[in-house]
Amino acid sequence: MSPERIKLAIQKSGRLTDQSLELVTRCGLKYSRGKDQLVCYGENLPLDILLVRDDDIPGLVQDDVCDLGIVGLNVIEEKRLEFAARATAPPFEQVMTLDFGRCRLALAVPEEFDYGGPAALRGRRIATSYPRILGRWLATRGLEADIVALSGAVEIAPRLGRADLICDLVSSGSTLAANRLREVETVLDSQAALIRTPVPVSSAKREWMERLLVRMDGVQQVRESKYIMLHAPRAALPRITALLPGSEHPTILPLEGTDEKVALHAVCRENVFWETLESLKAAGASAILVLPVEKMLA
């Protein structure tokens, strides 16, 4: 791999993999996967992808092996606190959050645990893979508990008698239920994020990196965006524009053969639901069309 090519680290196989690859595809990258399945070689952009374990991503970015990485805020925050404990700045920068990989780091207790509030945690043994994030959460509440740091299988720790409760990642809660655990507190809200190395890169590479970041931002913005077109009486325009979610400056166009009615076109930054269409109709709009937005460049 040439040093002039951008290297992006993503999770090899897990919850972030598909959407990370989809993001780079939507940024225009065509790639072929290497024989060893560890690298995807970009064919039309100077960008290659390294497929690794998610926990290794901040380290690869930090050591300058990779320029960019996509990883959960939970992993980023735990690493950040690790560096803060040594009074050094983390050797990676968070560029932007990405709208996938949503989950939360939560405290969960066995069903029979009598949880009346955070004070019930005093002196308890809490199993987690995120000892620093949990430690900070407890400290800001003036609580002292025994943090049992485990690298995996956290949810079975109470049953094995290794802990009284756990602090683990949850999205739907079905894993907790299967282990007869009940979620009681959110410690951190998480989602995927893009990190980059703070090490200066050549200007050619920097230029491509900037272009890639603008494209990623564009992909993020269009995901929920819709283009809406409708006809409306002039008098109803204030009411109608107030109903359009996240639209700033609609375009108003004349309609042939009438002065009373106009056409309105607008980009809505949020999804447009049936309820909104019904309200628009009730406000006087007709011929309403909602189209998906494919690409956007501000």
> Which stretch, 50-58, 109-117, 249-257, 262-270, contacts ligand ATP (CB under 6 A)?
50-58
Which of the stretches 47-55, 210-218, 257-265, 272-280 binds ligand ATP when contact is defined by CB under 6 A? Answer: 47-55
Q: Indicate the pairing of strand 47-52 with strand 165-170.
A: unpaired
Contact with ligand ATP (CB under 6 A) among 45, 169, 194, 266: 169
- Could you give the string, one character per residue 72-111, with x where binding to ligand ATP holds by CB under 6 A and - elsewhere? x-xx-------------------------x-x--------
Helix (H) or strand (E) holding 136: helix 131-140
Does residue 179 touch ligand ATP according to CB under 6 A? no
Q: Residue 141: helix, strand or coil by DSSP?
A: coil
Q: Of the candidates 109, 105, 126, 113, which has an alpha carbon nearest to the alpha carbon of residue 182?
A: 109
Token pair, residue 21, equals 């690859």
Q: How far is the CB of 86 from Zn ion (least distance, A)?
A: 22
Q: Is 16 in the site for ligand ATP (CB under 6 A)?
A: yes
Residue 172 C-beta: closest distance to Zn ion, Å: 19
Is 14 a binding residue for ligand ATP by CB under 6 A? The answer is yes
End-to-end CA distance of the chain: 33
CB closer to ligand ATP, 187 vs 262: 187
x/- track of binding to Zn ion for residues 44-83 (CB under 5 A): ----------xx----------------------------
Q: Which of 53, 159, 206, 281 binds ligand ATP (CB under 6 A)?
A: 53
For Zn ion, give the closer residue by CB, 13 or 202. Answer: 13
| Sites for ligand ATP among residues 117-156 (CB under 6 A) | none
Taking the complex as a whole, how short is the minimal distance between the CB of residue 57 and Zn ion, in angstroms?
9
Q: Which among 244, 221, 193, 229 is positioned nearest to 61, based on CA atoms? A: 193
Please count the helices (runs of H) and the strands (runs of E) in the chain.
Answer: 8, 16
The reply on whether position 155 binds Zn ion by CB under 5 A is no
The residue count for binding Zn ion (CB under 5 A) is: 2
Q: Which of residues 205-244 bind ligand ATP (CB under 6 A)?
A: none
Query: Does the protein bind ligand ATP through residue 15 (CB under 6 A)?
Result: yes
Give CA–CA dist 153/218, Å, rounded.
38
Report, in Å, the least distance between residue 71 CB and ligand ATP: 7
217 binds Zn ion (CB under 5 A): no
Structure tokens at 244: 């359009």
| By the rule CB under 5 A, 168 interacts with Zn ion | no
Partner from ligand ATP, Zn ion, none contacting 75, C-beta within 5 to 8 A by type: ligand ATP
Query: For residue 287, with 0-12 CB atoms within 10 Å meaning exposed, 13-18 middle and 19 or more buried, which class applies?
Result: exposed
DSSP 244-281: STT--S-EEEEETTEEEEEEEEEEESS---HHHHHHHH
Closest CA to 27 of 206, 194, 212, 192: 212
The item of ligand ATP, Zn ion, none sharing an interface with residue 101, based on CB under 5 to 8 Å by kind, is ligand ATP
Token pair listed for 153: 């299988």
Nearer CB in complex with ligand ATP: 97/241:
97
State the burial class of residue 156 (Cβ atoms within 10 Å of its Cβ: 0-12, 13-18, 19+): middle
Torsions phi, psi for 24 (to 5 deg):
-70, -30
Contact set with Zn ion (CB under 5 A): 54-55
